[in-house]
Amino acid sequence: MQFLFLFSGPLKLQLPSIHCSFSSSIHLSIHPSIHPSIHPSIFLQLSAMLSFAALTLRLGSTGCRGGRRNLATVVSGNKTSQLVRERLKEDLDKMRGQFPGFRPGLVVLQVGDRDDSNLYISMKLKAAAEIGINANHVRLPKTATEDEVLRRIVEVNENPEVHGLIVQLPLDSINPMDTEKVTNAVAPEKDVDGLTSINAGKLSRGDLQDCFIPCTPKGCMKLISQTGTSVAGKNAVVIGRSKIVGAPMHDLLLWSHATVTTCHSKTTDLAAQVGRADILVVGAGKAEMVKGEWLKEGAVVIDCGINHIPDNSKDNGMRVVGDVHYPSAKEKAGFITPVPGGVGPMTVAMLMENTVQSAKRFLKTYQPGKWNISYTKLKPQKPQPSDTAIAHSFTPKTIGRLAREVGLFSEEVEHYGTTRAKVRLEALNRLKTQPDGKYLVVTGITPTPLGEGTTTTTLGLAQALGAHLHVNSFACVRQPSQGSNFGVKGGAVGGGYSQVIPMEEVSLHLTSDTQAVMAASSLVVDTINARVLSESTQSDKALFDWLVPLRDGHRKFSLSQLNRLKRLGIEKPETQKPEEIYRFIRLDIDPETKTLSGSVASEMMAVLALSTSLGDMTRRLARMVVAYSRKGKPVTTEDLGISGVLATLMRDAVKPSLMQTMEGTPVFVHTCPLSDIAQGNSSILADQIALKLVGPEGFVVTEAEGGAELGMEKFFDIKCRSSGLHPDVVVMVATVHGLKIHGGGPAVTAGSAMPKEYSAENLTLLENGCSHLKRQLENARAFGLPVIVAINTFSTDTDAELGLVCEQAKLAGALEAVPCSHWAEGGAGAVALGQAVQRAAEIPHQMNFLYDLEMPIDDKIRAIAKSMYGAGDVELLPQAQQKVALFSKQGLGNLPICMAKTHLSLSHDPERKGVPTGFTLPIRDIHANLGAGFLYPLVGTTSVPPQSPAFSCFHDNDFSTESK
């Protein structure tokens, strides 16, 4: 019989032949069988007198007279671990008070399905749930390879919501596993098990405050401290040298100033070594190897062993024991941990403590919703060097580093060298529950031949928001084509100190998206030519055998061919009748009706920019009408059987390309549809991913090419309809010299000297040009959003001129007008613009579309012409009238309109600057871009595709092999 008594204060006990004095720190266990003269009723009376459990009364202690020596004090891990858990709950309450909604994250990664591992994991998950830690169990099958395990570890390492990662050992896989390699793959700052070489090295050096201590040794130290024993100066013996228990236990005791001896299976005088130990920690994994008679009297014994030995009295025939023979050891030790119930609960508690500790370290640098990103400090030079010289004076950070800074995982980034990368669309799926950030669209007045700087302003504003106002900011710009690169405006994206770098990489091939589009377009053209030739020279049987070869007695139809058969109403492809075969194989294409060129300005680029996923792009490519039959029936890429291969050619091009500005802010450079014949905006996917990455307090700055009446109108009525995204603010870019041109100034010729009117103050000319700014502001405000005017300044601008533009802009309805010097100063020159944008984004607004999709085709065209261009009316020429009737009959009347108009004037005449009004807008034809999903009327003499730049800069882009 054993009685357990707990005391709240000192106790003096006098019994026949026994006189014991005990303090409240003694845990007493009395065995009446040793003294049969003591009646059990005495113990019952005593128990009624005791206040609550704190100690166990044990027969005989130092100072006891007339009995056997003490039994060891049992050091229970259950009670101590519960105290630890209560303290951790309090810590988490404080964290949530400072960071509402924050929870430490823990992942337990398991390979296989071992029963013992499952038991340990369930204990860990239960403890985490009790404390308030968000714990997840990731289980990989026994068939998992080492590479799969390592990839999963990298995913967890990069997840900011996870602060602790445990790899459950052993790794139960049928494939070879390097345990050392796997455990070392865990990021040291998340290694709450303390098993990586980095944490072990720090522990061995004594850097206890800068590492994670393995959970079992850490728990052992807590239990030793519970005994009241001072470790300093004591002789400590550790049996076992494993990396999980023995080796780190040695280091912990050593740095706590004990004299430590490590023993193991090869130690010859083990009993003698144990006999000298004031503190003994055993973790050898051998059942009951340490005998009681080995122990030094009063020693502290910490038993880390978990072993199973036969025991017929147990239901399962097994009993759990430690590495110490408990019955004999408790007779000699001063303190001893039981098995189970000793070290085990403390190991789990220390795991939780390490996880909370990791979360605390994370919160020291954590700012809710903010990236942990580094920015480059600019030092603008005067006089300002060339764009090329400026770009070459900066060394961009590696693209992998930038990707990590903005919250992308390595598995989501495909590197193209060290400074550019593709971002996989899986990132968008991972972030789908993340709220979007603020959405800004940058447009401008109708551009003049030298450009107004919408791209430079887009980049400068993103730099100002990120590097100077310290909010997450992302710029999304179009990729320049080589044709425009070698035009008068130069070859980079942006200019001065607001550029994308490296400038050569972004301006030339980048990640080969334009090459993929050109290859796909050329494939369509070549396939049409080949099909026309084949149909004119081959019999039905030969053509059928060519299109669907007979192999092993069967014909295998491609997916696109099966879809064509379905549209034709042919249900049994293997048994077509001759007339069915004829209908299937004969497209009867009119060669004069090909709608694609082999250039980057084809519908392919518009499709790429408007796609919202790889699947969406594939479906859009299949719908593309690329020619017409001699009877006027549309021929799609699916009819040609090439829609699948087009998607294959463009499957990488659909991923946005990640680069950076000169100040280290992120940029997506993706797609380049032109505003005069297409929608003129960067891709939807770039905007969508960027909006998720910046978070709800961040900003995405995207650019709409051309003037507000063109690129911006298409941004709202086409791009926003496809994406479902609604912007918050419009930024309109204007320049003094551009407004002077619209005010009636002399023509500007590329490559010629600038007329003096643009370098000298001329308020009259400028005020006349402000009427054009007023018109474009009306266009922007028609969509229901606040508009900020950004005046892209030049050194020749005077204060009076800038003041006049600001005044006129506000009178015309701009919320604010801000002069900006981002070309000369980078983000610092656009800080005021960034602050104005932040204020504008807080204003409640409701975005409008310009027209309803259900309106008739000609009415939609008329709405755009009158509202955006200032036309008095439109004139649909006979061919355009025929197309309106045809498309309406085909059910295409509800598509949005993409006007193919010159970008150099509000009207259809590029020479008419300012604010032309009352003109009749001629529509000579209408085409259907069914893949892109819009109808595009051809206005006036607009060419499709547009002509190459009138002034080429080939001589400015010579390549030299000379070292620099």
Q: Where do the structural domains in the chain lie, given as residue ranges?
A: 387-511+655-842, 515-650, 857-939
Give kind and range of the element (H or E) at residue 94. Answer: helix 77-98
Q: Which residues does the chain have with pLDDT short of 50?
A: 1-68, 484-490, 947-948, 950-952, 954-955, 959-960, 963-964
- What does the block give as tokens for 764? 């009259």
CA distance 575 to 565: 12
CA distances from 62 to 297, 298, 510, 962 (A): 12, 11, 83, 91
For the domain 515-650, what is the CATH code? Answer: 1.10.8.770
Under CATH, domain 387-511+655-842 is a member of which superfamily? P-loop containing nucleotide triphosphate hydrolases (3.40.50.300)
pLDDT confidence of residue 38: 42
Give the pairing type, strands 105-111 and 164-167: parallel
What secondary structure letter does DSSP report for 897?
B
C-alpha distances in Å from residue 922, one per residue of 54, 525, 872, 914, 926: 97, 30, 11, 19, 11
**265 within 8 A of 284, measured Cβ to Cβ:** yes
| Radius of gyration of the CA atoms of the chain, in A | 39
CA distance 219 to 400: 38
Residue 60 is predicted with a pLDDT of 36
Beta strand 413-415 with 421-423: parallel, antiparallel or unpaired?
A: antiparallel
Task: State the number of CA atoms in the 13 A half-sphere of 624 facing the CB.
Answer: 30
**Residues tagged active-site:** 124
What's the token pair of residue 259? 């004299």
pLDDT of residue 313: 87
Return the pLDDT at 573: 78
As a whole number of angstroms, the distance between CA 349 and CA 870 comes to 73
Strand-pairing partners, residue 703, are 442
- CATH classification code of 857-939: 3.10.410.10
| 387-511+655-842 shares its CATH topology with 857-939 | no
799-811 and 763-781 helices, crossing angle to 10°: 30
* CA 781/CA 601 separation, integer angstroms: 30
Query: What are 621's two structure tokens?
Result: 């490519």
Whether 234 and 279 have beta carbons less than 8 Å apart is answered as: yes
Question: Whose CA is closest to 131, among 337, 429, 311, 351?
Answer: 351
Determine the distance from the C-alpha atom of residue 69 to the mean position of all C-alpha atoms in its chain, rounded to a whole number.
66
Q: Give the pLDDT of residue 944.
A: 62
Beta strands in 449-587 (DSSP E): 473-477, 494-495, 498-501, 550-551, 554-555
- Mark out the alpha helices in 419-512 (DSSP H runs): 426-430, 454-463, 482-485, 503-507
Residues in CB range of 376: below 8 A, 6 or more apart = 394, 397, 467, 662, 663, 664
d(CA 270, CA 247): 17
